[in-house]
Structure 1
Amino acid sequence: MRLWGSLSVLGLVFAALSFGIDQTFKWWMLHVVDIASREPIALLPVFDIVLAWNRGISYGWLSGGTSQGLLIAVALSISAGLWVWLAKVTRPVTAAAIGLILGGALANAFDRAVHGAVADFFSFHVGSFDWYIFNLADVAIVAGVALLVYESLREGRTR
């Protein structure tokens, strides 16, 4: 099993950037903006900055009593699998995508370890419809998955 490949550095750079940007933004929102005492901050008629502590997974699923230690262990296991995959990739877009997912997953796991929950801030809403509240780590994960889907569709067309 290889743990380092020709594009591992690229994936690691994207992982470090997504982790660092997410954690810097969270620190800024919690300690400089003090969002907990100022929420919501309405930026647009359909977009607010709020503070929500997510103790579950996506959309707040499994938030009722699921151990944060278990969720951290799952995130670390998935991250290990992503690292092994990263060592084998041959396309830069795939390496960047895996790096985005890896950095986002580790950033949210870090939140769980430090705060006991994931800090989410972005709230989109239209009328009575509210989209789930998310953070930059979630954006990195979704962008990484979208890049993987794009790459797989592109690869399928070239065959």
Structure 2
Amino acid sequence: MNSLPANRYAIFACLAIFGLAADLVSKNVVFAQLGSPAGSTGWLIDSWLKFRLFTTFNEGALWGFGQGLTSLFAVFSIAAAAGVIYWLFVAKAAKSLWLTISLALVMAGTLGNLFDRFGLHGLSGPDGEVRLAVRDFLHFRFGTFDWAVFNVADILLVVGAIMLGLQSLMPDPAQAKASSDKEPPGDVATQAA
């Protein structure tokens, strides 16, 4: 059986589109309300755990690694999106609902941050040039430890990656069935006992 369940295309498309929309709308609303960069609401949760909305641009990757390498990360994002499409629909991984959902989340996060890396948000820096950087705005602090500022696309990417990691720990049902089919039947005398 080489065909994919028809609903996998719809599930993938709906989750990817919804995730992308949630990311872009949340960025647009927060940046329009607070300005950029360094617009802040002040601490909305103010205890050992602190939370605020704080606008910033990230020209690198997660936790600010690779600052100034926006073009390189854009290329990685394009390759990741192409890889997701290939894995799901050419290599037929969409037979698994779990993989379909996890890769839809990865796709949504990838496209959301890619939108920003191309500067399609239209926000400019002090020099008047469009910022080729990801818009981040969710800021948590745990005691004295500041977590990296992130966005909805980052949440989607991390959840999708965790799901992929969990998938790698699960036994493949097709392989388990194939190996059980190959096991020779036990000793007839043992079975009769």
TM-score, normalised via structure 2 length: 0.72
Q: Which residue of 2 aligns with 1:57?
A: 61
Q: Which structure carries more relative contact order (alpha carbon 8 Å, separation 6+)?
A: 1
**Is the partner of 1:85 in helix, strand or coil?**
helix
Q: Give the helix-richer structure, 1 or 2.
A: 1
For residues 91 and 150 of structure 1, the distance between their equivalents in structure 2, rounded to whole angstroms, comes to 13
For residues 153 and 14 of structure 2, the distance between their equivalents in structure 1, rounded to whole angstroms, comes to 15
For residues 4 and 79 of structure 2, the distance between their equivalents in structure 1, rounded to whole angstroms, comes to 19
Supply the AA of the counterpart residue of 2:142.
V
Aligned length: 154
Q: Which residue of 1 aligns with 2:84?
A: 82
For residues 107 and 61 of structure 1, the distance between their equivalents in structure 2, rounded to whole angstroms, comes to 18
Q: CA deviation at 1:53?
A: 0.4
Larger Rg: 2
Q: CA deviation at 1:26?
A: 0.5
User: Is the contact made by 2:23 and 2:152 (CA closer than 8 Å) also made in structure 1?
Assistant: yes
For residues 35 and 156 of structure 1, the distance between their equivalents in structure 2, rounded to whole angstroms, comes to 48
Q: Provide the alpha-carbon RMSD of the alignment.
A: 2.3
Q: Which residue of 2 aligns with 1:25?
A: 26
Q: CA deviation at 1:139?
A: 0.3
For residues 137 and 28 of structure 2, the distance between their equivalents in structure 1, rounded to whole angstroms, comes to 12
Runs of 5+ consecutive residues of structure 1 not aligned to the other structure: none
Supply the AA of the counterpart residue of 2:45.
L
Q: Which residue of 2 aligns with 1:47?
A: 51
- What is the percent sequence identity of the aligned residues? 26
Supply the AA of the counterpart residue of 2:88.
L
Change (3 A) 1:38 1:117: closer
For residues 42 and 97 of structure 2, the distance between their equivalents in structure 1, rounded to whole angstroms, comes to 38
Render the CA deviation track for 1:71-116: whole Å, top value 9, x for unaligned: 2121001110111111112111110100000110111010111241
Render the CA deviation track for 1:51-76: whole Å, top value 9, x for unaligned: 1100001111110x32x233212100
Runs of 5+ consecutive residues of structure 2 not aligned to the other structure: 120-130, 177-193
TM-score, normalised via structure 1 length: 0.86
Q: Which residue of 2 aligns with 1:34?
A: 34
Q: CA deviation at 1:156?
A: 5.6
Structure 2 residue 149 is the aligned partner of structure 1 residue 133: yes
Q: Which residue of 1 aligns with 2:117?
A: 112
